[in-house]
Amino acid sequence: MQIGFIGTGVMGAAIAKNLMAAGYALTVYNRTKSKTDELVANGATWAETPAAVAAKSDVVFTMVGFPADVEQVYFGDNGIFSKLQPGKAVIDMTTSQPKLAVKIAEYATKNGFHALDAPVSGGDIGAKNATLTIMVGGETATYQAMQPLFKVIGHQVNHFGAAGTGQHAKMANQIMIAGTMTGLTEMLLYTKAAGLDPQKVLTTLSSGGADNWSMDNYVPRILKGDYTPGFFARHFLKDLRIALSEADAMGLDLVATAQAKRLYEVMVDVKGLGDQGTQGLINSYK
């Protein structure tokens, strides 16, 4: 099976490495070519455009930044759909709009392709360790056919239904994470103001009811002053905006998520810290 991979950023590159380690031949493309250098050095083939990736691949994975990027990668003049062959499949792992996932799936079906939306959770650690949680929407038969690939890169894979439902599940995930990120940030600020040992507080909270993945993985980075992105803050802000837009369309008023969005807007739009990881939220309080 020939695999294409478009979007080799922090997480995409790690996922691509795991697919190669499992023996799959990869053709790769990234807007910044240098981000594919390590993959190419290890045996991947570089392609000049998303269309060129599609022409060589049985399955094309995409993991890019924003919905506009997804739209361009699939429907642009040199996009995937301009060269994908009938019977082949696409899997978009970008966290994107459910309605765009539906648009991709409808176009794929009309033209004899197969499509899944399959956003992931687990950050850079999950991508590197192949322990991602994968949330899938799309055709049941295609989901079942892609199981061998999903098992290479994740440890929890769930199919939620028709196209777009994977993206809706990811929105639920991001809503939950919004709460844990604001909670861990303000926990640390309180800990410092109270004069407590932050490492001792972390150890204590990690063994009790306050334990959560974000705290366990990001507080140690914050204590080291490490704000490198496992997941870019600007991408998380994009996700929260999508989640709130979808919630509004469903008549939901998600007050806490809206407040988290405002805090990340301060970090990204006001302070210009969007290239830090989501744990950099603490820097917007300074």
pLDDT tens sequence across 157-168: 999 999 999 999
What confidence tens digit (pLDDT) does each residue in 124-168 have? 899 999 999 999 999 999 999 999 999 999 999 999 999 999 999
Looking at the structure of the chain, the number of domains it has is 2
Contacts of 46 (CB under 8 A, 6+ apart): 27, 28, 29, 33, 36, 40
Specify the pLDDT at position 70. 98
CATH code at 6? 3.40.50.720
The verdict on 182 and 133 lying in the same domain is no
Determine what percent of the chain is predicted with pLDDT higher than 70: 100
28-67 pLDDT, tens digit each: 999 999 999 999 999 999 999 999 999 999 999 999 999 9
End residue of a domain, out of 125, 145, 162: 162
Query: d(Cα 229, Cα 181) in Å, to the nearest integer?
Result: 14
Residues 152 and 174 in one domain: no
**Is 7 in the same domain as 107?**
yes
Is residue 33 domain-shared with residue 142, that is, in the same domain?
yes
Looking at residue 286, its pLDDT comes to 79
What's the domain range around 158?
2-162
**pLDDT given at position 230:** 86
Looking at the chain, how many residues does it have? 286
Does residue 154 share a domain with residue 12? Answer: yes
Q: What is the DSSP secondary-structure string of 20-42?
A: HHTT-EEEEE-SSGGGGHHHHHT
Q: Could you give the CA distance from residue 216 to residue 172 in angstroms, rounded to a whole number?
A: 20
Q: Is 27 within 8 Å of 44 (Cβ atoms)?
A: yes
- 19 and 154 share a domain? yes
Average pLDDT over residues 216-224: 96
Q: Are residues 203 and 75 part of one domain? A: no
Give the amino acid at 209: G
User: 149 with 179, same domain?
Assistant: no
Higher-scoring residue by pLDDT: 286, 75: 75
Claim to verify: residue 156 and residue 271 sit in the same structural domain: no
- Judgement on whether residues 29 and 157 belong to the same structural domain of the protein: yes
Q: What is the CATH number of the domain that holds 213?
A: 1.10.1040.10
Q: Which residues are catalytic?
A: 170
Nearest to 143 by CA among 131, 156, 121, 158: 158
